[in-house]
Amino acid sequence: MVKKDFVKRVSEEVGMTQKDVEAVFDSICKNTKKIVLEEGEKLSFTGLGTFRQNVSKAREGRNPQTGATIQIASKTTIKFKQS
């Protein structure tokens, strides 16, 4: 299922326009990213799951084409655990 199909299904169920449902969905995604990545807080939705920050350490890797050693930078991502 893609976002368009999901928005259509939700709009039919709750009686809102697809445009309004899409705006709400986009706001939820944007704020989840802001809360978890920028503010570093854990975000839980009862019955769905928990979003939290996951920080990978900087490490050394290899370029598969040349075999040269490269540095892979640390990065922060969102990790989801279903409930």
Phi, psi dihedral angles at 79 (to 5 degrees): -115, 135
Structure confidence at residue 66 (pLDDT): 94
Domains in the chain: ranges and CATH: 3-82 (4.10.520.10)
pTM for the whole thing? 0.75
| Residue pLDDT, tens place only, 38-67 | 999 999 999 999 999 999 999 999 999 999
Average pLDDT over residues 6-21: 96
Q: Are 58 and 40 in contact (CB under 8 A)?
A: no
